[in-house]
A and B are shown apart, each in its own frame.
Chain A
Amino acid sequence: MAINFRPFVFPAVLLGALEWWARTTGKGSDALAPPSAAVRAFGGALADGSLLAATGFTLGSAALGLLIGALGGLGLGTLLGLSRRAARLASLSVEVARPVPSVALIPLAMLVFGFGLRMEISVVAFACLWPMLVLTQAAVLQVEPRLLEVAHALQLSPLARFTKIVGPAIVPRLFVALRLCVAIALVVAVTVEIAANPHGMGYALIIAQQSLDPALMLAWLAWIGGVGFAINAAALALQRYVARRMGAEGAA
């Protein structure tokens, strides 16, 4: 079987055009550099360890924020899904807090936590909380009513009802929500670093720009894109794997 090369032609042409432009008309530009120079800059960042350190910081804080936000959203969403009264009572508060853009909390997190890991985690957690809450609530509401009747007939306690009936029933949908939140967590983490936090990949990117090193800046930009692509692909694969294992529903 021949490898399908067609998706790679267009980016290759673009990169070739940039290389040609940067070596002729755009020579000595402070804004753009040829891709070959970006590859060299990438090798430099890899060799001096800054690449791995920054990537580790961004991914670590994105993962921790995702963990906190997703667990909170999971708990609240299950509660609001199971109890109609709770959902009614909380609806206004949720609708008021949810549209606040996560980046609006960057200055607040800066004030409370200062720069560092905790401010980034808190903003990521806030960003992941709401989609997880809404999607969990929707997933619980779509649990087959007969399953809930079974739980009722068996007189299960609320805890047993969750761990034995509702929990397993919503797993495939939860992984759809998780994939969405993984993408959000990474975007928000990089955004926090670009806007304020002097750590991680986003900061490395903006510092490369401010020190007029376009080769390094392009290297970071491509690396952030590549990491984002790989993580999104992995999350999608996980979601599909879980959907297959748990039965086809929610596989779409």
Chain B
Amino acid sequence: MTRRFDWPGAAGSVAVLAGVVALWWAASHGGWVSRVFLPSPEATLDSLVEGLGAGGELLAFTGATVGRMALGWGLASALGVALGALIGSSAAARVWIAPTLEGIRPLPASAVMPLAMSIFGLSGSMVLAVVAFGAMWPVLLATVHGLAHVHPQLREVAQGLQLGRREVVFKIGLPNALPDILAGMRLSMTVSLIVSVVGEMVASQPGLGQAILLASRAFRASELFAGIVLLGAIGFVSNALLAVAEKKLLRWQHP
């Protein structure tokens, strides 16, 4: 039986959102909040349309930010899984190296930015490196954890079949760690977006982060809001895509 779509609920939920926008409109037009901070919804929409339309800059900035985020996330995922598989599959590495990684993990990714700036200079690849570094941890630690907690019976199966270490990792360890890895990749997507935006702000690389910072410095509130809306949309879409992918990739676990 398929559940019927909850029309009254959806309508009410849309109505509440419309109410929030109406409140925003009233706050802006009624002068409750200065227009300098809070542009009207229609001014924000105008800025969005103008920026995304022909000749607007926002489209290119959005593309730059999305590209930075996606590339950094891809690098982080690949590095995280590879390093995690190396460390997680070796008991010695887990004892000697993993505690150091756990210790570095709470370090804010953006705090590495100044170090990267002094080593690599102000460049797009510097930002990319910091994005990849910061977003790597959730994937890396999830992979280590997933490989370290293989069910003892699966371990026995591997021994019984006399699988080599590489085969154990690829045939048992990584599939077993997949739910953890995917959860880590979802977290690292969020981190990638945040670090990309911070990187664009700090290192003046083209993108939405730089665009909203400049808009704010020039008191162009409607452009600032348009940028925030776009960043929210990027976050929303990337999360939704990943949720769908996760469901597809994990289908084999629930036959």
Chain A residues proximal to chain B, CB less than 8 Å? 6-7, 9-11, 14, 30-32, 85, 88-93, 95-97, 99-108, 110-112, 183, 186-187, 190-191, 194-196, 202, 205-206, 208-209, 212, 214, 217-218, 221, 224-225, 228-229, 231-232
Contact = CB atoms under 8 A, between A and B. Distances in A.
B201 A221 contact: no
Interface string B35-53: 0110000000000000000
A100 B228 contact: yes
A93 B118 CA distance: 42
Nearest to A224: B111
A111 B216 contact: yes
22 contacts: A88-B6, A89-B12, A90-B16, A92-B10, A93-B17, A97-B232, A99-B234, A101-B193, A103-B201, A106-B201, A107-B216, A107-B217, A108-B225, A111-B36, A190-B108, A224-B108, A225-B103, A225-B104, A225-B107, A228-B107, A228-B108, A229-B103
B117 interface: yes
B106 A10 contact: no
B20 interface: yes
A29 to B, nearest CB: 9
Nearest to A187: B108
Contact of A104 (B104, B118, B227): B227
Contacts of A231: 106
A205 B107 CA distance: 13
Given A91-B13, A229-B106, A231-B106, 18 more contacts: A31-B119, A32-B119, A85-B12, A96-B17, A99-B234, A100-B228, A100-B231, A104-B197, A104-B228, A104-B231, A111-B221, A187-B109, A191-B194, A208-B114, A217-B114, A221-B111, A224-B111, A225-B104
Interface of B: 6, 9-10, 12-17, 20, 36-37, 95-97, 99-100, 103-104, 106-115, 117-119, 190, 193-194, 197-198, 201-202, 208-209, 212-213, 215-217, 219, 221, 224-225, 227-228, 231-236, 239
A192 to B, nearest CB: 9
B104 A196 contact: no
A190 B16 CA distance: 35
Contacts of A90: 13, 16
B197 A205 contact: no
A209 B228 contact: no
